[in-house]
Amino acid sequence: MKIERTIQVAVAENCALGESPVWDDQQRCLHFVDILSNKIYTYWPDDETSQVTQLDEMVGAIVPTKNLGFLAALPSGIYRLNLPGGTPQILVQPEPGNLENRFNDGKADSSGRLWIATMAQSEQQGLGNMYVVYPDLTFKMVLEKTTISNGLDWSEDDKYFYHVESDDAQIRRFDYEKLQGGILGKTTVVEFPDEEGVPDGMTIDSEGMLWVAHFGGGCVTRRDPSNGEILEKIELPVKQVTSCVFGGEDLNDLYITTASKGLSDSELAYQPQAGYTFVIKNLPFTGRPANKFG
């Protein structure tokens, strides 16, 4: 089913690589990053204003914490900062000395642990890893030799962990071990054919369905994780769709980040809103509040 809804521009900035959207239920705003421009954007929908926090390094992901701050994943480590406008303070670096890698997507689980993956800045295969960082800042590796680790989330009952590997265009499901924070087994639940683009960021709605951004495919789809079936499809006016999250007072507004990196002048002329952040309001679906680290 194709959703006939009005797609609105939330933030009219041509982000090189918009990513990691997070709805902030305390400040009633959206935060997201432009990885390649070292920026974190904060957008308040009530008055349609935004503010930029400029960092000195690429920021792969941001994750809210229980003390109202945020974690920011930079190549040199995991930092804490307040948004907007805060100064990063280093907490931990799971891959010390490896500045060839950077962090990519990350989220907190329901127990307050950070799940975060690295990838080679060159995007070379098999050089990334996924880590779990505990609130006491100890950490362990849970996946190794990943390439472009992207969307991750958990089922409502914490039975399953879902993970996107963009390099081979698959979404995989793992059995989730909540007590210690581990994953077991591996089942491919969706394989993306070339014409659909590459799966990127992902979120899960209150019914347990996956919402997946199609990088190169120009859309977001809602999928049943039990069989991979496409239940809904939202087409965007740009091709490189990177991630999505539910926000708003009732968590039924879908915010979608996109990218402009790598596009030629002719491609940018065809899709001048590449890199913009969009919103579709008042969907008949709701998301879940973001888990917080700590």
Please, how many CA atoms are within 13 Å of residue 128, restricted to the half-sphere of its CB? 24
- Give me the pLDDT at residue 255, please: 98
Helix (H, G, I), strand (E, B) or coil at 237: coil
Give me the residue label for tokens 């390439």.
Answer: 147
CA distance readout (Å), 156 to 117, 132, 160, 204:
22, 19, 9, 9
Pick the CATH number of 7-280 from 3.20.20.70, 2.20.130.10, 1.10.287.610, 2.120.10.30: 2.120.10.30
Q: Which residue ranges in the chain fall short of pLDDT 70?
A: 1-4
Q: What is the pLDDT of residue 273?
A: 98
End-to-end CA distance of the chain: 39
Query: Which bin fits 248, alpha (ψ -120 to 50), beta or left (φ > 0)?
Result: left
Q: Is 46 a catalytic residue?
A: no
- For residue 167, the SS3 value is helix
- Per-residue pLDDT of 133-164, as tens digits, reads 999 999 999 999 999 999 999 999 999 999 99
Burial group, residue 90, by CB count within 10 angstroms (0-12, 13-18, 19+): exposed
Burial of 103 (0-12, 13-18, 19+ CB in 10 A): buried
Q: Is 35 helix (H, G, I), strand (E, B) or coil?
A: helix
What pLDDT is recorded for position 135?
Answer: 97
The pLDDT, as a whole number, for residue 214 is 98
pLDDT of residue 99: 79
Across-strand partners of 162? 153, 173
| DSSP-derived 3-state class of residue 267 | helix
**What gap in Å lies between CA 135 and CA 64, rounded to an integer?**
13
Sequence-separated (6 or more) residues with CB below 8 Å from residue 280: 3, 5, 6, 7, 8, 234, 253, 254, 256
- Active-site pick, 200, 205, 224, 250: 200
CA 206 to CA 231: how far, in whole Å? 15
Residue 5 pLDDT: 75
- Give CA–CA dist 146/125, Å, rounded: 7
**Whole-number Å distance between alpha carbons of 90 and 72:** 9
Contact 7, 237 (CB under 8 A): yes
